[in-house]
Chain A
Amino acid sequence: MPECKERKDVLRCPFCLGKENDVLLRKDDSKFYCVKCSFQGSREEIMQYYALHKKRFANRTKRITLEEIERL
């Protein structure tokens, strides 16, 4: 797989993301924290919040074809 740069250990705040705001988390040892909303959490916790965030998009894995769009 082609790569152009090494992925940085950067995550976005899951709660600010819920407000459609991209805020990069700062890291202190193994804890991440948000300068915008005071969230603190581990990588594992953040991944759980991301999974929760995705759930709002109920059709994120559903193919909806042109024919189905016409009927909606």
Chain B
Amino acid sequence: MYVNLIHRPGNQAQRPMFELQQKYAHDLKLKTTVFLQYDNLFEEELLEQVLKDQKTYGDEIGIWFANLSATSFVKKLNKKETFLWLFTEEEKRVIIEEHIRKFESVFGYRPISVGCYHMDSTSLRLLHEISPETKISVGGCFEEGVKVFHGCNHSWYLFNEGMPFFPWYPAKHNSLVPARSREEWDGIVLVPHLMRDMALSYEGRNDFFASHPANIQRAMANEGAICPYTLNLLDMCRFQERFNEGFSYSNTFVGPNWLSGSINVQDSDEETQQIYKEYLEYLAQLSQENQIQVVYMREFADAFTNEVEIGAAQQYFAKEILYGSYKHYFWYCSPAWRLLLDMEQGGSIGDLRPYIGRTPRCSGADTEFLAMASNPYLIQSQYRSGNAHHSADGARTTLLIAYEGEEKDLCDYPTRIESVHTMPEKTKLVLQEQRITFECGLSVTLQTSIEIYRCGKIIFHRALTDCSQENAVFRVTEYVKAGYGVTEYPENLKDVVLYAEGADEISEKFGYTGRTYETAAGKSCSAVIPKLNVRLSLENADDRVCNAYVKDGYLFSPYYTLGISCDLQVGKETATCLNVKKEKTC
């Protein structure tokens, strides 16, 4: 696993903490990347120290694009924005040019490594044009969006949901989507800002639970200076080498403001600094044992481009460890889509972001998206109900299994991942068997295996392996309920078109009627979402005799539903394909 350790000097008042962080890192012989903000480039004493450290310890120096409203030249622009991704293209150009110019005038070269909480596609293009030497940037905050917005009392305008969780090759049309080819790649490697707890990223506010010890204190997931979760989380990242051909990644970037007097940390400064130091000591220990490589960001850029092919899928098998529930989640990200499989919800898809439509997306005051850089979802069970537990159910997938009029929903049967098999084009998950008992006393055992393909296809295999009554016949329905959006609120679905193909050819516009359209000899059912250039479909993958249906939603349940149903007996199995395809609609 590769690890980047990043420090920044912050302002004058925070300088003693920066010096302390640097001392910890240097004493432990950890390679450190130091990001300077614009105003730091005018501080002679600081620059002298940073250059001395570079000579003595080898520190890498780069730029951190932040706190822009405080800079002299942004004040001259008469702008109040603080962050790069929110300016207009013209202003982004001025800001990047001025940062690079000043950096070069101080150090005599342009930076290889830079960072910003979010590097939008316009900023990235300008950066590549203005500073072709730049190879790598911190480029996004994984799953920060609605939940962090709420958590910061509705005042933090960073919407980066639906992005890759590991370092990625950003596509030119949307920096939060991985490129599928060298031609589509912007030319700069992006890394996420921190590695998050990938179970709690789905369940809640994930800046609390990341590779940032002081933020874990902000969550109060420690007891004084005792905070083993920071180390547990790093080991969870190391675990991901098993599923990514030996590759994994983490970074730590704690600003000096966090180590003393933070209003969001209720522990003493001594405890806070002790936790940070112990975290770095663990990095040093693992590094000495050759378990991880702590490298400069520029070194990581080279390693990544040498070791990870453009277009490769990345996977993360997350286990919830802080609350002690040990739930299983599986994340998958390729240039076609990003998926989350939720074992607590019976192995259903809890989050689906289709990248395949290739619709451009960029934040900024001069774009239609403004601050909302998040990639839209088709399914997001946390925001959009998921399994039914209040009123009607919401966005999710599942298998419905019925016997003599009684229907059971696989979402009600939590399971676990039994095994993961990774292959170049696909990954196969085998889930723990689920035992379902009906009111009449009859019980049946179901085995699910799931094949996930890079190209935007997933095949659900369902086999009935055991039943208390040999000849019982069940009606099983593979089920997808979805919408689209970037927040909790429903979008207008009137431009969505629903299809079912079989004995009949059905095509209906979404109209909030609540109607169901069904055909015998079902081959497929699908929904076209024009705004995303995407068709989401469910297909009969084994030519079995089945029905296919589509359901129009209604205002109290604003979703479209796809279903393929057939009879099934013990000893038999079904294969159903869910996929996302590009649908040129505009």
Contact = CB atoms under 8 A, between A and B. Distances in A.
Contacts of B19: 2
A63 B221 contact: no
Nearest to B328: A72
B568 to A, nearest CB: 32
B223 A64 contact: no
A1 B225 CA distance: 14
Interface residues of B, number: 47
A28 interface: no
Contacts of A56: 323
B322 A3 contact: no
Contacts of B221: 54, 57, 60
A57 B323 contact: yes
Given A20-B208, A50-B220, A60-B229, A4 B235 contact: no
A2 B20 contact: yes
Contact of B220 (A17, A23, A24, A63): A17
Given A20-B151, A22-B152, A63-B231, A57 B322 contact: yes
Contact of A54 (B204, B205, B223, B321): B223
B238 A64 contact: no
Contact of B235 (A5, A23, A36, A66): A66
A2 B17 contact: yes
A4 B266 contact: no
A50 B19 CA distance: 31
Contact of A1 (B15, B270, B322): B270
Contacts of B323: 56-59
Nearest to B17: A4
Contacts of B326: 72
Nearest to B257: A4
Contacts of A30: none
Nearest to B264: A22
Contacts of B79: none
Contact of B260 (A4, A54, A69, A70): A4
A48 interface: no
Interface string A4-39: 111110111000010011111000000000001000
7 closest A-B pairs by beta carbon, nearest first, are A58-B324, A20-B205, A63-B228, A66-B235, A5-B261, A10-B263, A64-B232
Given A12-B263, A54-B221, 5 more contacts: A3-B261, A11-B266, A22-B218, A60-B223, A64-B235
Interface of B: 13-17, 19-20, 147, 150-153, 204-205, 208, 218-223, 226-229, 231-232, 235-236, 238-239, 256, 259-261, 263-264, 266, 269-270, 273, 319, 321-324, 326
25 contacts: A2-B19, A2-B20, A2-B260, A2-B273, A3-B269, A4-B14, A4-B259, A5-B261, A6-B261, A8-B263, A20-B147, A20-B208, A21-B151, A21-B152, A22-B218, A57-B322, A59-B229, A59-B321, A60-B227, A63-B228, A63-B231, A63-B232, A64-B321, A66-B238, A72-B326
Interface of A: 1-8, 10-12, 17, 20-24, 36, 50, 53-54, 56-66, 69-70, 72
